[in-house]
Structure formats: structure tokens, C-alpha cells
Structure 1
Amino acid sequence: MANKSYSLAHTKWMCKYHIVFTPKYRRKEIYNQVRKDLIEIFKRLCKYKGVEIIEGHMMPDHVHMLVAIPPKIAVSTFMGYLKGKSSLMIFEKHAGLKYKYGNR
């Protein structure tokens, strides 16, 4: 796994990033059904962008991910995409969360 390199048109690359992020105010909402849905949403969104999830752990109040992001995508751009789209998809699927934690 450590020697696996990826390639674009004229480059070979191996860019792996350990990313940790939390919900707003470190609320402990990442468990049970929301956790299962988040795992599927993260997999789908990473697949859309061509990002490989090497390893991931979901704690009650934060998420650890080891991802291989292509050099053509900035890490901050990818994280903005991942957090923004996943929150919209979670609020769409679990409407009660938006009313509980929404516009305050």
C-alpha cells in the first residue's frame, strides 16, 4: 500500500492527507443511523471527485480520514466540497436535525 503511486498525464504522485474535522460546536451527532448514512455519503462524494479513502474512523464528535487527493484538486477545495455537500445531503435525509440545529 505504501508504494502505490497514481498517475496523471505526465506525472506520478502519492499525496496522502490525514484529515480530522468536527461538527459545529463538537456536537455528538455522529452515531447510529446518521453514522451509517455519513459513511455512504463520504464514499459517494469521494468517488465523484476521484479521491480514494484509504482509512477512516468516525468518533461520536469528530471524523478521521486518510485520503489520497490528486494534485489537481486543492485540499481546502476538496474539504469545502465534502463538508458542504455532505451536510446538505444529511439535512435532506434527516430533516429533524435541521430543525434541531439549523439557523440559530
Structure 2
Amino acid sequence: MQCFTRGETKGNALRPILVRLRIYHYLCIKQPTSNAMSYSKLYYHIVFRTYQSQRTINEAHERDLYAYILAYCRAHDICLLRINSMPDHIHMFVSLRPDVCLADFVRELKKSAGNFIKSHPREFPMFNGWGIGYCAIS
């Protein structure tokens, strides 16, 4: 799957599905496949917490964090369908390709998002990192 902003198209793609991600609109398009017999759709609801569940995700700047996470997912060809957060945790609904290891994806995303937040100390002054582990429900 690939994600495109509204208005973008990609060849003769099949079954476009419009999804809403806060203020952003995306079109997730399943590309035509070869004659191979393998097929999969993998959706995960992923939740991960801040360190010691501290309330450090600032509501005033959460959209900046969402935009960063979206850019990360797009760069890694992951379709982010929904994202939301509370002050102490983030919820994501993603579609992963079968060749993507869930644990590796979450680990690298947490590392990258943590670096983004730490590079913006004025927007997220209390952030001390992410907690260990995550929840993923398929």
C-alpha cells in the first residue's frame, strides 16, 4: 500500500479508500499485484506510552508530532490510517506490509519520534522519552 494526499493518483490503481487523519486527508491505494498467489492485509492498532506514563505530550503541539510521525511512516512506505494521543500515550492505526517486522517498526518509530521531540524542547519541555514496550492489536 502507498499513501497519497488527496488529488494524487498513481497509474491504474485499484480500490481507492479515502481516510481522514485529523486535518489531513489521505488516499490509500492498493497497487495492482503480479500473478503471485500471496495476498495480505495487515492492520495494527499500536499504543505506546511516555516514560513512566508522564503527561508530557503537549496538546498545543501534538499536531507537529503527528505530522512528523506521518512523514516517518510515508518515508518507510507504511500507511498511517489514524493517529491520536493523550498526554501520556499515542494511539496509531497502521497498515503494514508483510515484510515489515512490527517490533522493528515500533522501536525505530519511537526512537525517531523521541529524537524529534527532544529537538523541540520548548514545545515538549517535560518529555523524558518513551516507556519500554508497546501494545499492538491486529
TM-score by length of 2: 0.61
Q: Which amino acid aligns with 1:45?
A: Y
Query: After the TM superposition, which residues 33-52 of structure 1 pair with which residues of structure 2 at under 5 Å, given as runs?
Result: 33-52=60-79
Partner amino acid, structure 1, of 2:74: K
When structure 1 is superposed on structure 2, of 28-37 and 74-83 the one drifting more is 28-37
Q: CA RMSD in A?
A: 2.5
Listed one character per residue, the Cα deviations across residues 49-97 of structure 1 (whole Å, up to 9, x for unaligned) are: 1111112211111111110011111000100110001101111122674
Please state whether the residue corresponding to 2:82 is helix, strand or coil. Answer: strand
Q: Which residue of the partner structure matches residue 111 of structure 2?
A: 84
Q: Report the equivalent of 2:121.
A: 94
Percent of aligned positions that are identical: 22
**Bigger CA drift: 32-41 or 50-59?**
32-41
User: What's 2:4 paired with?
Assistant: none
Q: Which structure would you say has the larger Rg? A: 2
Aligned length: 99
Q: Does the 8 A contact of 1:5 with 1:14 survive in 2?
A: no
CA contact (8 A) 1:6 1:13 kept: no
**Structure 1 residue runs without a partner (length 5+):** none
Structure with more strand by fraction: 2
TM-score (norm 1): 0.79
- Pick closer, same or farther for the CA change 1:8–1:61 going to 2, 3 Å: farther
The aligned runs of 1:5-84 (5 Å cut-off) are 10=36, 11-84=38-111
Task: Provide Cα deviations, 1:4-32, integer angstroms capped at 9, x if missing partner.
Answer: 86666643321001111101100101123
- Stretches of structure 2 that go unaligned for 5 or more consecutive residues are 1-16, 18-28, 130-138
Higher share in helix: 1
